Structure 1
Amino acid sequence: MTMTLPRLALCACVALFAQGAIAQEQSTNRVAADTDWSVFQETDPTECFAVSAPKSSENTRDGQPVDVTRGETLLFVFFRPSEGVNGQVTFTGGYPFADNSTVTLDVGGTQFTMFTEGEWAWPASPEEDARIAAALQSGSEAVLTGQSGRGTVTRDTFSLLGFTSAVDQAKTRCTS
């Protein structure tokens, strides 16, 4: 399975989260912010997405906490009308995942499997995207657990405060 993400959207998110609140106010493609989630819209090609950074992250190796350097860690829901993408859930862990590994997404005790390639993870099908999105809408937090190529286990906790509104706005902006 191969997933492509437009470079412009990824760069915008990385820049946004790397530069903090000042960049959030100055971003030209950020169109809405609802508590812990933001909405972005690109025009060429048309793409909209809701995105959030984790509220907390734990990194362990052999069961012991470790300090690691990671890139941006973000949870997305994408809409790309030209590609028929309607609510694709994706996660970037900020490091290359272990080969042939999966990421576990847990929402209120309901677990989902996301497949990995490089630094990205996503569900197996659009139907699974829809099931995950429904769980995220009814939950209060999402916990994503993955393993790096170096054997570090990461556990990232995302708040879902504002998730439903942000996804609804992203979807509306890319279907109107």
Structure 2
Amino acid sequence: MRQLFAFTLTIILAATLTTDAWAQGKPRKVSSHRDWDAMVAGSGSNKVCYVISVPKKTWISRSGASRGDIYLTVTHRPAFGVTDEVNVVVGYPIRQGSEARLSVDGKKSYQFFTEGRGAWAYDPKDDRSVVAAMKAGANMEVRATSQRGTNTRDTFSLSGFTAAYNAATRACR
């Protein structure tokens, strides 16, 4: 059941992201806040607002393994009724059927389903919980495993997250 839900959600997300990206045009930076940027793409009913950051530290279990872009976003898509969608892109194909684990300040931990190079919360309630923890936290750690079994750990600073989040939220009103 969990895999069916993840597969269905992935198809919906892929269709939404493809349609959104085509309709939005180039994203523009609303503002920068320490380690986070607030961004907006599109206008009117196609507007998408998000915050984005890259990790301050990365660790990889296999020497010489390469990775692509690594980033963390929190997105609002008002036209679809989506707020606080947390997404992590880890820079490699994630092992099929595995989960990514996010933790804020080593205290609260969240399991995310994975597809391709990304990870998402199983439920929008989890997204809201993660965002609340990010607002109160200093660092977020993301752990995942590649198709080849390589383990990674990425640490994102949460400095500036709340200000960037508020700017992105205002931009989508």
TM-score range normalised by the length of the shorter chain: 0.7 to 0.9
> What is the alpha-carbon distance in structure 2 between the residues aligned to residue 104 and residue 88 of structure 1?
16
> What is the alpha-carbon distance in structure 2 between the residues aligned to residue 116 and residue 30 of structure 1?
28
Q: Which runs of 5+ in 1 are unaligned?
A: 13-27
SS of 2:61's equivalent?
strand
Correspondence for 1:173: 171
> What is the alpha-carbon distance in structure 1 between the residues aligned to residue 76 and residue 84 of structure 2?
5
Task: Kindly report structure 1 stretches of 4+ aligned residues shifted beyond 4 Å.
Answer: none
> What is the alpha-carbon distance in structure 2 between the residues aligned to residue 71 and residue 93 of structure 1?
8
TM-score (norm: length of structure 2): 0.84
| Structural mapping, 1:18-57, within 5 Å | 29-44=28-43, 45-57=46-58
**8 A contact 2:30–2:167 mirrored in 1:** no
Quick one: which of 82, 90, 108 aligns to 2:87? Answer: 90
Deviation at 1:8, TM superposition (A): 6.2
**8 A contact 1:115–1:121 mirrored in 2:** yes
| Structural mapping, 1:43-82, within 5 Å | 43-44=42-43, 45-61=46-62, 66-82=63-79
**Residue-pair matches, total:** 155
Deviations 1:107-145 (A, max 9, x none): 122100111000110101111000000011111000000
Deviations 1:77-102 (A, max 9, x none): 00011111111000000111000011
Deviation at 1:43, TM superposition (A): 1.4
> What is the alpha-carbon distance in structure 2 between the residues aligned to residue 8 and residue 77 of structure 1?
20
> What is the alpha-carbon distance in structure 1 between the residues aligned to residue 132 and residue 22 of structure 2?
28
Correspondence for 1:100: 97
Q: Which runs of 5+ in 2 are unaligned?
A: 1-8
> What is the alpha-carbon distance in structure 1 between the residues aligned to residue 138 and residue 167 of structure 2?
19
> What is the alpha-carbon distance in structure 2 between the residues aligned to residue 127 and residue 57 of structure 1?
28
> What is the alpha-carbon distance in structure 1 between the residues aligned to residue 22 and residue 93 of structure 2?
20
SS of 1:51's equivalent?
strand
Q: Which amino acid aligns with 2:69?
A: E
Correspondence for 1:23: none
Correspondence for 2:112: 114
Deviations 1:61-86 (A, max 9, x none): 4xxxx222111100000001111111
**8 A contact 2:135–2:158 mirrored in 1:** yes
SS of 2:172's equivalent?
helix
Correspondence for 1:136: 134
TM-score (norm: length of structure 1): 0.83
